[in-house]
Amino acid sequence: MAPMSLLTYQDVRPWARSIKAKVSSREMPPWFIDKHVGIQKFKNDPSLTDDEIATMVKWVDDGAPQGNLADMPPPRNFSDLDTWHIKPDVVFKTPKPYILKAQGPDEFVDVTIDPGFKEDVYISAVETKPVEAATFKVIHHATTNLIEDDDDPTGLFLNEYAVGKGADVFPPNSGRLIKAGSKINFNLHLHPDGEQTSVQIAIGLKLFPKGDVPKYVAFHSCPN
């Protein structure tokens, strides 16, 4: 997604001065909480500490040396994109592939399915992802909404897929309510890349055992 790769020293070295500028100003990594105002302890805070920033600045000021190759950790192994980050109990997917044209403007596609829930269920985790590997290169994002009332086709936000996004896992003893009869709407943002592509999306749910009700119940959540 960025204009450069930063996997190796050779990738990083030409960008050293830019890295110094961006981390010093706290533009990178993105985290828009003022460090001088209000609450500072947040779950999953990606921002750098002052000591981490000072270390990176000193490295650049010293000429961005590579260091001792013997001290390098092993290369990181990245998981396959086409993998569930949870072990879903049930998986629902769009009924048939959508054929995206090879050329043209971005397309926005809505597909609504009925998962067939006859009674209220509670979920402890949810994940949305492409079904077919080819879809990953043409999908900008996919959001899923719960439609509890046919008179409200927009529904309530449930989950989304975007590059780098894994599953949403609720904290212990908490979960999301899916009311009986709810439908799931998939909204897809697609970008043609020169080849006709078959697009199909799935959503996986991790269910609480039948009859179990979590202590903390989320009725609606917002996208990250």
Maximum separation of any 2 CA atoms in the chain, in Å? 65
Round to the nearest angstrom and report the end-to-end CA distance of the chain. Answer: 18
Instruction: 17-23: list long-range contacts, CB under 8 Å, 24+ apart.
Output: 17/60, 19/56, 19/60, 20/56, 20/57, 20/60, 20/61, 23/48, 23/53, 23/56, 23/57
Proportion of the chain in helix, strand, coil states, percent, rounded to 5: 15, 30, 55
Q: Is 149 exposed, middle or buried (0-12, 13-18, 19+ CB in 10 A)?
A: exposed
**Residue 224 pLDDT more than 50?**
no
Residues in the chain, how many?
Answer: 224
**Residue 221 pLDDT more than 60?**
no
Q: Residue type at 197? A: T
Could you say which DSSP state residue 26 is in? T
Q: Which CATH architecture has domain 90-218?
A: Sandwich (2.60)
194-206 pLDDT, tens per residue?
999 999 999 999 9
27-63 pLDDT, tens per residue?
999 888 888 899 988 888 999 999 999 999 999 999 9
Share of the chain above pLDDT 90, in %: 74
74-104 pLDDT, tens per residue?
888 877 777 899 999 999 999 999 999 999 9
**Residue 213 pLDDT more than 70?**
yes
Pairing of strands 107-113, 183-190: antiparallel
The pLDDT value given to residue 164: 80
15-25 pLDDT, tens per residue?
999 999 999 99
pTM of the model: 0.76
Q: Quickly state the pLDDT bin for 1 (edges 50, 70, 90).
A: low
Q: Where are the domains of the chain?
A: 9-71, 90-218
